């Protein structure tokens, strides 16, 4: 006894196209959700430059969110402590006040970008289902 299965693949291209469009919408929705989570994080204090300097980019099936503030990597990844080497002290201006210090302690990493993506991924199933 022989069993034959025949498949009509003429509509397969249409199915892939619909799936690709849904994946693109999903990527944009996930990007938006990630930005919302970042905006809600409690780490933003001060002038809001870090929060306001976020850039979302989507190109094809590639999506990214970038923090453009010059100190963003230090907030995300932390930094070691440091001391004055070529001078007697370090000079900072904070809220208009000049501050001098011989050394500065390390800054603990907050991983706000990484944590925001992970938090948004928890909602991935809900986002996917909402796209229809």
> Residue 63: beta bridge partners?
58
Nearest to 77 by CA among 107, 47, 55: 107
pLDDT above 90 (res 42): no
Global pTM?
Answer: 0.61
Q: What is the pLDDT of residue 46?
A: 63
């Amino acid at each position: 006894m022989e069993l034959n299965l025949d498949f009509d693949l003429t509509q397969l291209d249409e199915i892939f196209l619909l799936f690709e469009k849904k994946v693109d919408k999903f990527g944009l929705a996930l990007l938006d959700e990630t930005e919302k989570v970042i905006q809600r994080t409690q780490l933003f204090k001060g002038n809001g430059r870090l929060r306001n300097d976020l850039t979302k980019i989507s190109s094809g099936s590639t999506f990214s969110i970038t923090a453009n503030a010059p100190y963003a990597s230090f907030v995300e990844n932390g930094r070691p402590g440091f001391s004055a080497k070529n001078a007697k002290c370090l000079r900072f201006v904070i809220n208009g006040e000049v501050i001098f210090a011989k050394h500065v302690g390390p800054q603990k990493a907050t991983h706000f970008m990484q944590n925001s993506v992970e938090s948004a991924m928890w909602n991935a199933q809900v986002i996917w289902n909402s796209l229809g």
